[in-house]
Chains A and B, each alone.
Chain A
Amino acid sequence: MTSAAGTPRFTDAVPQLHDYLIHSARRLGNKVALVCGGERLTYRDLDLRSNALANALVRRDIRRGDRVLIYSDNTVESVVAFWSVLKANAVASVISPLTRPGKLAHLLNDCQAAGLITDVRHTAAFAEAAARAPHLRTVVVSGSVDRELVRGLPGFVGWNEAVAGEPTDGGPARLNLDIDLAAIIYTSGSTGDPKGIMLTHRNMLTAAASITAYLENVEDDVILGVLPLSFDYGLYQMIMAFRVGARLVLERSFVYPAQVLHTMVAERVTGFPGVPTVFATLAEMKTLAGYDLSSVRYVTNTAAALAPKHIAFLRTAFPSARIYAMYGLTECKRCTYLPPEDIERKPGSVGIAIPNTEIWIVDEDGRRLEANRVGQLVVRGATVMRGYWGKPEATARRLRPGLLPGETVLYTGDSCRLDDDGYLYFAGRMDDVIKSRGEKVAPREVEDALLAVPGVKEAAVIGVPDEILGEAVKAYIVCEAGSTLTEKRIQLECQRQLESFMVPKYVVFVAELPRTSSGKVAKKELL
């Protein structure tokens, strides 16, 4: 690397996350890297476009370590934006476009975002939220925006205008180290306040290397991205595809399963990452056998347990595929995977620690437990997060001293046991977080939304088993006297405040909530 006197040299000696894109573009420039929304983009296309946007971000005063939110669904622009933010030495946080304006404003302020990259489709939401985010210095919007609606937003610029004239042959100078943050991924916490999981380049490089190793990903892979980029499982499909120079077929969603299946056949998809809700939806399709899915060589599941009947279904539907049951949490990306050849031998297990990590079980006092005893799962490895953004107390509960000085290990808050061979079995969460549609739902967040509804006096929320969703959100409501609230009214009011997967599927009106002797709601009695 050539460098002027006095400026840093060899800054790319140790890889950072965006080197996956840069290296694949150097090696496979003309290969189609991304198929999305009717477009086919090569690695070179993505490299050049992300250089231009990265340069534009720096010109618009995005500095090293700044947080930039990408509020958008699975689009070409979201992909370009993610890599641009990294190239600009900033920290990327992809936020689901289902996020309502109030919560978006909360997230922008939580991490004091300096930048927001979004799309004209989400104008109503982002305009309201951005107006309440004093740290924002620039808002880059793709698509044709009605200027009247964004008047007064800090540093507003259209995407095309922002990148016009920016150099594409290289990005900004590399200032970050691999121990700097690459991403913040927001997740629901049991307190109801979303927590920003801080991940360094090294965290993410380690996780991507580990997972692509056991999935045996290769350049010829064609990976289906049907899960949102705002979900770490969805985001990593892109990261891992680019790591090995594979192709990502990015779908907006799984709303139209038949359309996704057509794409899978047409693109000869080899890797199909899903969650139980996706597989349950497929299992209900009567015409599935009509699709030639023989190109699929592996199917992965995480986010919620894969029921034996789903495993049986996947075997039939994808006869040539290896089926991976996996388990993890965003705080360390992934804990375990069950090698496909063990699926019969270890029914119900979520497998062994992913490569370059180790796991053990502790009791309430933090002492290691022997095999077959249930306790809290602890994870050690370079995948473990740096903590929750701006939440030292919550961080201290999860990250505790590890084996070496200064090292921290992750106390997952999940109850598990290891068998004699070191295979992990998930027993339950230690908090009351609900998993619906593969997404975490904090009962407290839903209860807060319910209590904001005029006429609601008390509310308690639990998860109940559901064939498609895994768990469905169920709310028990005590109304104020004279209230005329209905189930539908409650759901509509919740939709104004919450992402759709958090909205209670069932609402039950009760005269009073069961209480423990200390006065807390006795949720166990509601189950």
Chain B
Amino acid sequence: MTPAHHVAPTQQEDTLLKDRLRQFILANFWVPDAQAIKDGTSLLDSGVIDSTGILEIIAFLESECGVTVLDEEIVPDNLDSVQRIAAYVAGKLKR
């Protein structure tokens, strides 16, 4: 498993990315309680995504954020919460 090398993004970039991710999730998945999805909430545990859902998230990251997600990077450390996805994307973009 190789979590992306994390480089701290600026506060503003980080917030912007998290907002876009949250919007994407709310627009594309069944979220019974939007308030319950905090930055650190596990998307798998909370039932928001499954195996098809993860592919949609990856497609979103590749098309909208301009990152290429490698097979070994498809791990919970990188993708299982809004926080982790934002950190992963920021790390990829700054590399």
| Contact, CB under 8 Å: B44 / A255 | yes
Residue of A nearest to B2 (CB): A258
Residue A10 at the B interface, CB < 8 A? no
Give every chain A residue within 8 A of B66 (Cβ-Cβ). Answer: none
| Contact, CB under 8 Å: B71 / A259 | no
| Contact, CB under 8 Å: A255 / B50 | yes
Contact of A256 among B27, B70, B74 (CB under 8 A): B74
Residue B11 at the A interface, CB < 8 A? no
Interface stretch (choices A330-338, A442-450, A495-503): A495-503
Residue of B nearest to A284 (CB): B71
Give every chain B residue within 8 A of A495 (Cβ-Cβ). Answer: 29-30
1/0 contact trace for B5-45 toward A, CB 8 Å? 00000000000000000000001111011001000000011
| Contact, CB under 8 Å: A500 / B53 | yes
Residue B54 at the A interface, CB < 8 A? yes
List 5 A-B pairs, minimum CB-CB distance, nearest first: A495-B30, A285-B71, A255-B51, A124-B32, A287-B71
1/0 contact trace for A257-300 toward B, CB 8 Å? 11100100000000000000100010001111000000000000
Q: Smallest CB–CB gap between B93 and chain A, Å?
A: 21
Assuming the A-B contacts A122-B47, A253-B51, A500-B52, are A258 and B75 also in contact, with contact meaning beta carbons closer than 8 angstroms in the complex?
A: yes
| Contact, CB under 8 Å: A257 / B50 | no
How far, in whole Å, are A451 and B57 apart by their CA atoms in the complex?
Answer: 28
| Contact, CB under 8 Å: A259 / B75 | yes
Residue of B nearest to A97 (CB): B47
How far, in whole Å, are A281 and B52 apart by their CA atoms in the complex?
Answer: 11
**What are 25 sample pairs from A and B whose C-beta atoms fall under 8 A apart?**
A98-B50, A121-B45, A124-B32, A124-B33, A125-B47, A252-B44, A253-B50, A253-B51, A254-B51, A255-B50, A255-B53, A256-B76, A259-B75, A259-B76, A262-B1, A277-B51, A286-B71, A488-B27, A488-B28, A492-B28, A492-B30, A495-B29, A495-B30, A500-B52, A500-B53
Q: How many residues of A contact B (CB 8 A)?
A: 29
Q: Smallest CB–CB gap between B4 and chain A, Å?
A: 13
| Contact, CB under 8 Å: A259 / B53 | no
Residue A380 at the B interface, CB < 8 A? no
Residue B72 at the A interface, CB < 8 A? yes
Assuming the A-B contacts A256-B54, A257-B74, are A98 and B47 also in contact, with contact meaning beta carbons closer than 8 angstroms in the complex?
A: yes
Name, among B46, B72, B74, B76, the residue most crowded by chain A CB atoms within 10 Å (CB to CB): B72
Q: Smallest CB–CB gap between A394 and chain B, Å?
A: 29
Residue A87 at the B interface, CB < 8 A? no
Give every chain A residue within 8 A of B51 (Cβ-Cβ). Answer: 253-255, 277, 281, 437
Name, among A258, A287, A495, the residue most crowded by chain B CB atoms within 10 Å (CB to CB): A258
Q: Chain A interface secondary structure, helix, strand, loop or mixed?
A: helix
How far, in whole Å, are A142 and B52 apart by their CA atoms in the complex?
Answer: 27
Contact of B32 among A97, A125, A253, A488 (CB under 8 A): A125
A contact residues vs B (CB 8 Å cutoff): 97-98, 100, 121-122, 124-125, 252-259, 262, 277, 281, 285-288, 437, 488, 492, 495-496, 500-501
Give every chain B residue within 8 A of A256 (Cβ-Cβ). Answer: 54, 74-76, 79
| Contact, CB under 8 Å: B30 / A258 | no
How far, in whole Å, are A496 and B30 apart by their CA atoms in the complex?
Answer: 6
Q: Smallest CB–CB gap between A252 and chain B, Å?
A: 7
Residue of B nearest to A259 (CB): B75
| Contact, CB under 8 Å: A121 / B30 | no
Residue B49 at the A interface, CB < 8 A? yes
Give every chain B residue within 8 A of A257 (Cβ-Cβ). Answer: 71, 74
How far, in whole Å, are A97 and B28 apart by their CA atoms in the complex?
Answer: 19
How far, in whole Å, are A169 and B30 apart by their CA atoms in the complex?
Answer: 44
| Contact, CB under 8 Å: A258 / B44 | no
| Contact, CB under 8 Å: B49 / A255 | yes
Residue of B nearest to A257 (CB): B74
| Contact, CB under 8 Å: B52 / A121 | no
1/0 contact trace for B49-85 toward A, CB 8 Å? 1111110000000000000001111111001000000
12 other A-B residue contacts (CB within 8 Å) besides A124-B33, A262-B1: A98-B50, A125-B32, A125-B47, A255-B44, A258-B1, A258-B73, A285-B71, A286-B71, A488-B28, A492-B28, A495-B29, A500-B53
Name, among B32, B33, B49, B53, the residue most crowded by chain A CB atoms within 10 Å (CB to CB): B32
Q: Smallest CB–CB gap between B69 and chain A, Å?
A: 11
